[in-house]
DNA sequence: TATTGTTATACTCTATAACTATA
DNA sequence: TATAGTTATAGAGTATAACAATA
C-alpha cells in the first residue's frame, strides 16, 4: 500500500513521486502518520471494546478520579457536546459512573468501576507494547524529540488565538 | 484554551495534569498536533474554495499531469471510492478535467485547467507562509527531524502489513 | 481473474446552536 | 451573565461492498 509498485496482474500502477511538492507540507505528513497509527490503534483497541476516544477518556478518568466531564473534554480537545456520547458509551459498558460533584451541582464527577479499571490496564498494556514496537525501530531520542516538537506545534497555535 | 486556568467568573476549571499517563502516547499527541494544524489550514484554504483534501489533490495533479485517479488516491492514502467526490468537486469548480487515459481505457487522466493552476499557486503560497511561521519559531533542523520521523512511522506500519 | 471508476452506505470525528439547571 | 451537561444537527473523513467496463 502507499506507493504500490507491482501488482498481481500486469496492470499499471505508475509509482508516483509524492515528494515533488506535497511531501514538504507538514499538515500532509502529520495526517498520514496519524492515520497509520490511528488504524493500528483501532485494531488493537477494538477487541477490548474501545475506540481511540473512549480509550483516551478512560485513561484520564482512571488517573483523575472525580474528574469533571467538561475538564475531561478540554483535556482531550473535544467539544463538551461531543464528550457526552463518549462518556455514555463508557457508562453503558459499566466502566465509568457519573456521580454528583461535591461542590458544584451543575457538574458531574467521573469515576471508574472495577471492570473499567481492569479494561484500562489491559488497554494500556496493549498500547504500550505498540509504542515499544515503534521505539525499538526508531531510537528513543528520536521519539522524545518528536513528542517535544508536536507539543511545540500545539502550544504555538494556542498562542495565536 | 487547552489547559484553561482562569475564567471570567469564579467558576472552577481544575487545571488537569494531562501528562500523567496519556501525554506519553504518541497517537494522542499526533492527533492533537494534526488537529491544530488542520483547523489552521482549513481557515487558510476556505477563502480559496479549497479543503485540505481537495488542496492536496490539486497540488498533486498540477505536479503530475495525466495522473490516474487511482494513483492519486493511493498517493494521498485515500480510498478510490472517496476520491471520486474530491475530483468531482475540483472538476465542478473548473480546476481539473478528467480526460481519457492514452493507454488504458478503464482509467481517467487528470489534468489542471488554467484557473486551477492559478488557484493552486495561491494556495501553495498561503500554505508555505503558514509553514514558514512554524519554521521561524521552531528551528529548521527540528522540522526536518520531525518530517523524517513521521515518514519513518509511515513506512514502519507499511512493512507490518 | 484483477483493476478502474463509480455508487451506496455507514460510522466516526468535528463543529455549532440552543436548551435546562445551576453558579 | 456565565458555566455544565445535554440534545439535535450538519459537515467532513474513513471504510466496505458491489457493480459495469475494461485489462
- Mean pLDDT in residue range A132-145: 76
Nearest chain B residue to A157, by CA: B36
Q: By three-state DSSP, how is residue B67 classified?
A: strand
For residue A109, the cross-strand partners are A68, A99
A44 touches chain B (CB under 8 A): no
Can you give the length of chain B in residues? 161
Q: What is the Cα Rg of chain B in Å?
A: 20
A79 touches chain B (CB under 8 A): no
Cell triple for A129: 507494547
**Residue B155: alpha-carbon gap to chain centroid:** 18
Q: In whole angstroms, what is the distance from residue A50 CA to residue A61 CA?
A: 14
How crowded is the C-beta side of A150, counted as CA atoms within 13 Å? 27
For residue A98, the cross-strand partners are A110
Task: Tell me the pLDDT tens digit for each residue of B152-161.
Answer: 887 765 544 3
How crowded is the C-beta side of B33, counted as CA atoms within 13 Å? 28
Query: What confidence score (pLDDT) does residue A68 get?
Result: 97
Query: What confidence score (pLDDT) does residue B139 get?
Result: 75
Angstrom distance, A20 CA to C17 C1':
43
DSSP state of A111: E
Query: What confidence score (pLDDT) does residue A24 get?
Result: 61
* A41-45, A147-151, B101-105, B151-155: range with highest mean pLDDT: B101-105
- Look at residue A1 and tell me whether its pLDDT is greater than 70: no
Cell triple for A141: 531520542
Query: What confidence score (pLDDT) does residue B35 get?
Result: 81
Query: Is any atom of nucleic acid chain C found less than 7 Å from the CB of residue B68?
Result: yes
Q: Say which of A34, A59, A71 has its CB closest to residue B14.
A: A71
Fold of the CATH domain B23-159: Arc Repressor Mutant, subunit A (1.10.10)
Angstrom distance, A69 CA to D1 C1':
22
The domain made up of A21-159 is a member of CATH 3.40.50.300: no
Nucleotide nearest A88, from its CA to each C1': D6
| Binding-face residues of A in 81-100 toward B, CB within 8 A | none
- Look at residue A147 and tell me whether its pLDDT is greater than 50: yes
Measured in angstroms, the CA of A2 and the nearest CA of chain B are apart by: 6
Query: What confidence score (pLDDT) does residue B100 get?
Result: 96
Q: Which residues of A touch B104 (CB under 8 A)?
A: 12
The shares of helix, strand and coil residues in chain A, as percent rounded to the nearest 5, are 65, 5, 25
Q: Which residue is nearest to nucleotide C3 (CA to C1')?
A: A11
Strands B96-100 and B108-112: what pairing? antiparallel
DSSP state of A118: H
Element (H, E) at A98: strand A96-100
Domain ranges of chain B: 23-159
- Look at residue A42 and tell me whether its pLDDT is greater than 90: no
Task: Find cell 513528542 and name the residue.
Answer: A147
pLDDT class for B18, splitting at 50, 70, 90?
low
Q: Do A149 and B146 touch (CB under 8 A)?
A: yes
pTM of the entire predicted model: 0.82
Task: Tell me the pLDDT tens digit for each residue of A92-138.
Answer: 999 999 999 999 999 999 999 999 999 999 999 988 887 777 777 77
Q: In whole angstroms, what is the distance from residue B117 CA to residue A110 CA?
A: 53
Strands B67-68 and B108-112: what pairing? antiparallel
Query: Is any atom of nucleic acid chain C found less than 7 Å from the CB of residue A81?
Result: yes
Amino acid at each position: 500500500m502507499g506507493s504500490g509498485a507491482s501488482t498481481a496482474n500486469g496492470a499499471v500502477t505508475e509509482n508516483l513521486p509524492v515528494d515533488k511538492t506535497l511531501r514538504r507540507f507538514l499538515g500532509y505528513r502529520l495526517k498520514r502518520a496519524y492515520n497509520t497509527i490511528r488504524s493500528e490503534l483501532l485494531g488493537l483497541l477494538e477487541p477490548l471494546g474501545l475506540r481511540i476516544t473512549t480509550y483516551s477518556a478512560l485513561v484520564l478518568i482512571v488517573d483523575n478520579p472525580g474528574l469533571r466531564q467538561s475538564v475531561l473534554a478540554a483535556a482531550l480537545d473535544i467539544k463538551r457536546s461531543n464528550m457526552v456520547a463518549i462518556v455514555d458509551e463508557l457508562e453503558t459498558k459499566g466502566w465509568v459512573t457519573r456521580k454528583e460533584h461535591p461542590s458544584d451541582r451543575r457538574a458531574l464527577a467521573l469515576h471508574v468501576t472495577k471492570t473499567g479499571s481492569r479494561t484500562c490496564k489491559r488497554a494500556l498494556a496493549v498500547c504500550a507494547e505498540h509504542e515499544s514496537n515503534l521505539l525499538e525501530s526508531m531510537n528513543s531520542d528520536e521519539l522524545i524529540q518528536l513528542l517535544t516538537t508536536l507539543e511545540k506545534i500545539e502550544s504555538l497555535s494556542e498562542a495565536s488565538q
